[in-house]
C-alpha cells in the first residue's frame, strides 16, 4: 500500500446528500460523460445502491465507489479519485474495502464496465484479478466507445 494511504488517517463512509457538490466536482474532472446531480440522488435513494467515500485526515473527499448488491452479485457502477490524489493507492483502497465487504456478504461474483481506452482503470482491475468477459460495442457515448465487461469470481 502506498505511503499516503499508510500514513494518513483515511476514513471510508457512506455518501450523504451534503457531499454532493464535492463529489460532483470530482466526477466532472474524472469523466467525459459524468453523472449528474440527479443520477447521484437516484443512487442515494436506491436501496440496492451503496456509495462509499474515502476522506483524508483533513476531511477532504479523495474518491468514491458506487456499487449495487443484487442477491449474490455486486456491480460496480462508478469509481473515481480526485486528480489531486490519483496514483497514491486511493482507488485500490476503495476496491479492497469493497472486496472485504462483499466477501463478508457472501457475494459470489462482481461485475463492472470499463472503456476500452481507459488503461489506468484497466490496470487497477487487472491488479485485483478482474477478467474481461465480453466486449459491448459502442456502449459509451461522448465519445462513442466499446466497453469491456469485466468480472471477478469471489473465492
Ligand X SMILES: CC(C)(COP(=O)(O)OP(=O)(O)OC[C@H]1O[C@@H](n2cnc3c(N)ncnc32)[C@H](O)[C@@H]1OP(=O)(O)O)[C@@H](O)C(=O)NCCC(=O)NCCS
Q: Which residues bind ligand X (CB under 6 A)?
A: 30, 79-81, 86-92, 114, 118, 120-121, 123-124, 127
From 22, 73, 113, 116, active-site residue: 113
Phi, psi angle pair for 59, to nearest 5°: 90, 0
From 27, 64, 85, 125, active-site residue: 125
7: left (phi over 0), alpha (psi -120 to 50) or beta: alpha
Give the shortest CB-46-to-ligand X separation in angstroms: 19
**Comparison of 21 and 47: residue with beta carbon closer to ligand X:** 21
Give the shortest CB-3-to-ligand X separation in angstroms: 11
Residue 109: strand pairing partners: 73, 153
**Comparison of 46 and 120: residue with beta carbon closer to ligand X:** 120
Residue closest to ligand X when measured from CB atoms: 91
Q: How many CB atoms lie within 10 A of CB 50?
A: 19
CA atoms of 76 and 54, how far apart (whole Å): 16
**Comparison of 90 and 152: residue with beta carbon closer to ligand X:** 90
**Comparison of 93 and 107: residue with beta carbon closer to ligand X:** 93
Give the shortest CB-20-to-ligand X separation in angstroms: 18
Tell me whether residue 113 is one of the annotated catalytic residues. Answer: yes
Give the shortest CB-29-to-ligand X separation in angstroms: 8
Catalytic residues: 113, 125
Amino acid at each position: 500500500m502506498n505511503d499516503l494511504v499508510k500514513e494518513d488517517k483515511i476514513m471510508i463512509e457512506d455518501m450523504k446528500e451534503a457531499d454532493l457538490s464535492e463529489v460532483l466536482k470530482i466526477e466532472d474532472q474524472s469523466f467525459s460523460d459524468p453523472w449528474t446531480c440527479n443520477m447521484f440522488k437516484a443512487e442515494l435513494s436506491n436501496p440496492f445502491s451503496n456509495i462509499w467515500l474515502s476522506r483524508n485526515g483533513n476531511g477532504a473527499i479523495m474518491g468514491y465507489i458506487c456499487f449495487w448488491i443484487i442477491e449474490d452479485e455486486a456491480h460496480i457502477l462508478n469509481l473515481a479519485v480526485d486528480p489531486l490524489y490519483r496514483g497514491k493507492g486511493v482507488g485500490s483502497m476503495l476496491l479492497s474495502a469493497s472486496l472485504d465487504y462483499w466477501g463478508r456478504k457472501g457475494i459470489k461474483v462482481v461485475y463492472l464496465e470499463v472503456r476500452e481506452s481507459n488503461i489506468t482503470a484497466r490496470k487497477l482491475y487487472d491488479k485485483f484479478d478482474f477478467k474481461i468477459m465480453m466486449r459491448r460495442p459502442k456502449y459509451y457515448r461522448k465519445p462513442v466507445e466499446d466497453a469491456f465487461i469485466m468480472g471477478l469470481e469471489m473465492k
